[in-house]
A and B are shown apart, each in its own frame.
Chain A
Amino acid sequence: MTAMRRFLPGWLSSYATLYILFLYLPVIFLPIFSINTAATPKFPLSGITLHWYEDLPKTPALIDATWNSLLVGISASILSTVLGILAARSITRYRYPGRRTINGLIMAPLVLPEVIVAISMLLVMLQLGLSLSLFTVVLGHVLVCIPYSMTVLTSGFEGFDRSLEEASADLGESAFGTFRRVTLPMVAPAIISSLLVCFTISLDEFIIAFFLTGTEATLPIYIWGQLRFAAKLPGVLALGTLLLLASFVLMTIAEILRRRAARRTQNEGGLHA
């Protein structure tokens, strides 16, 4: 039994390492084949080139899609973070009947099949006479981003010692002044983190954009269109690599900020510090 106890962590950690490899496997091949001279992704590489990357800025459709994605991503992240702030503040600060149900409803898009969420919204938008455009894509992205925004923000708001705001009032500060001088600086990292998370999700989101857009393509839709042509694969791989890199950088910053926000508020129990 003691032998097993010593053996288990070792076995588990090799399993964990293998599992991480499995998780990163597909992510690794995109950059590798994006610098391959041949169009077919297979080993061994026939040669190394940055040719596919150099071609990217020369594709007008891609430039358009990039702008569209940025526009949608920025709008969606701001809107969903604002809605997320309101909801997260309400959930963490107040107690009222129906609170859990409302929270459940707001978080629901996280566990519903995206296709069904997308076609439902499509139906309503058509019924309401909205013509499909980047605007409808933003509306859809906001819905699926809010749950993530909520998750990030509640972890930042939770444990926010209410006596900090009381202390501010006690020292003569008005309600607005307290918000500006205490609440906002304390939760700013969580808010920025939420903006980054939502932007990343919107940037990578395909299904909802696919159903809700009119003629304008976002980056994932552009990629989807290119996938039909085998010859265009390396270009898609290059673009995909850049997107991966962007997501990676944004998410790392978001995670660092989220932790900082959580640490700030959690420390403020004051009793253990």
Chain B
Amino acid sequence: MTVAAEGSPPLRMAGARRNPLLQSEAVQGFALISPTFVYALILLVLPILVVIAHSFWTQNYLTIDHTFTLENYRIALTEPIYRDLLWRSLYISLTVSLLTVALAYPIAYFISFHGGRHKSLWLFLITIPFWTSYLLRVMSWKVILGYNGVLNSGLMGLGIISEPSDALLYNSTAVIITLTHAWATFAILPIFVSLEKVDRTLVEAATDLGDGPLRSFLRVTLPLSAPGVISAALIVMIPTVGDYVTPKLVGGKDGVMIANAIQAQFGKASNWPLGAALSVTTMIIVSLMAGATVLVIRALQRLAR
């Protein structure tokens, strides 16, 4: 007999909502979480609603005109400068998530399947750099990629180049390298978790049925780890689209992204409604892109049979 079957009837009976005991269980649980829930409502949901509201208003010097307008969205979507920034941000975040996931997968696979006794040590090694300040890591990449930087001096020291290259820093490639590094941990962990859930006997069964290592990987392990790949892709894609520090520090003029424009509207340019519209547009477009990514990965997963 299992403990769950008899020891904890409330869990088993989760379907029956009319029960008074269950109701009190629900009430207790809800009461316990409500402070945190209310906090998130006030500091996350409410602010996002306020931003959406602002995006339909107009800035009149120091005051805000509360008449409904779609003008901000017209500017956000048609002004070449914002359109370019949006495209570039989407391109960068898509590239970064593809790169990060592709680079992270073998690591996650290695730790999960060949990590042995040292699994937790490997995981710890991978998380540590992530716990150090993001700002400092970006700054360090600036040191590495700069004109007088480590990479240039190193390459010159090896005689590969004769004078420092300025192609390393202040462009979107620099942004992509930095972001790929910054989000590595976030991509490895979900893939690792989903690989851990893959029943090892399934792989053995595939081998037993005649698949070689590569085929059993492609037909069993990879499709079964798709949920991890999806969450890794999303967890990297959505935040990177709105990254501010990296483009500002290593992006230069060619690496500016939409977050820098949004910040400008709330700072120097002082056009809150336009900044709000840019934020909302970014969120919607990145959500669409995320949705498309999920569909593509699912389709690929189905192909792998």
A–B touch (CB < 8 A): the answer is yes
Instruction: Please list the residues of chain A having a beta carbon within 8 angstroms of any beta carbon in chain B.
Output: 1, 4-5, 8-9, 12-13, 15-16, 19-20, 22-27, 29-30, 33, 40-43, 83-84, 86-87, 89-91, 93-99, 102, 105-106, 108-117, 119-124, 127, 139-140, 142-143, 146, 162-163, 200, 203-204, 206-207, 211, 220, 223-224, 227, 236-237, 240, 243-244, 247-248, 251-252, 255, 259
CB distance from B57 to the nearest CB of A (A): 11
A41, B143: Cβ atoms under 8 Å?
Answer: yes
A63–B51 CA distance with the chains assembled, in angstroms:
36
B148, A42: Cβ atoms under 8 Å?
Answer: yes
Q: Scan B90-117; emit 1 where CB is below 8 A from any A CB, else 0.
A: 0000000000000100110111001000
With A94-B28, A96-B29, A119-B275 known as contacts, the answer to whether A26 contacts B45 (CB < 8 A) is no
B33, A251: Cβ atoms under 8 Å?
Answer: no
A204, B29: Cβ atoms under 8 Å?
Answer: no
B234, A111: Cβ atoms under 8 Å?
Answer: yes
B140, A90: Cβ atoms under 8 Å?
Answer: no
* A87 contact from B7, B33, B212, Cβ within 8 A: B33
CB distance from A124 to the nearest CB of B (A): 4
With A42-B153, A43-B154, A96-B30 known as contacts, the answer to whether A119 contacts B266 (CB < 8 A) is yes
* B133 contact from A91, A211, A244, Cβ within 8 A: A244
Please report the total number of B residues contacting A with Cβ < 8 Å.
Answer: 93
A142, B136: Cβ atoms under 8 Å?
Answer: no
A143, B249: Cβ atoms under 8 Å?
Answer: no
CB distance from B50 to the nearest CB of A (A): 5
Q: Scan B59-95; emit 1 where CB is below 8 A from any A CB, else 0.
A: 0000000000000000000000000000000000000
A247–B129 CA distance with the chains assembled, in angstroms:
9
B106, A12: Cβ atoms under 8 Å?
Answer: yes
A116, B282: Cβ atoms under 8 Å?
Answer: yes
Q: Scan B1-37; emit 1 where CB is below 8 A from any A CB, else 0.
A: 0000001101100100100000001111110110111
Q: Scan B263-305; emit 1 where CB is below 8 A from any A CB, else 0.
A: 1001000001001100100110010000000000000000000
CB distance from A175 to the nearest CB of B (A): 12
Number of A-B contacts (CB under 8 A): 257
Q: Which of A105, A123, A252 lies at the interface centre, i.e. has the most chain B CB atoms within 10 A of its CB?
A: A123
Residues of B within 8 Å of A223, CB to CB, are 135-136, 139
A90, B32: Cβ atoms under 8 Å?
Answer: yes
Instruction: Please list the residues of chain B having a beta carbon within 8 angstroms of any beta carbon in chain A.
Output: 7-8, 10-11, 14, 17, 25-30, 32-33, 35-37, 39-48, 50-51, 54, 103, 106-107, 109-111, 114, 120, 122, 124-129, 131-137, 139-141, 143-144, 146, 148-150, 152-154, 157, 181, 184-185, 212-214, 234-235, 238-245, 249, 259, 262-263, 266, 272, 275-276, 279, 282-283, 286
Residues of B within 8 Å of A240, CB to CB, are 133, 136, 139-140
Q: Which of A41, A115, A200 lies at the interface centre, i.e. has the most chain B CB atoms within 10 A of its CB?
A: A115
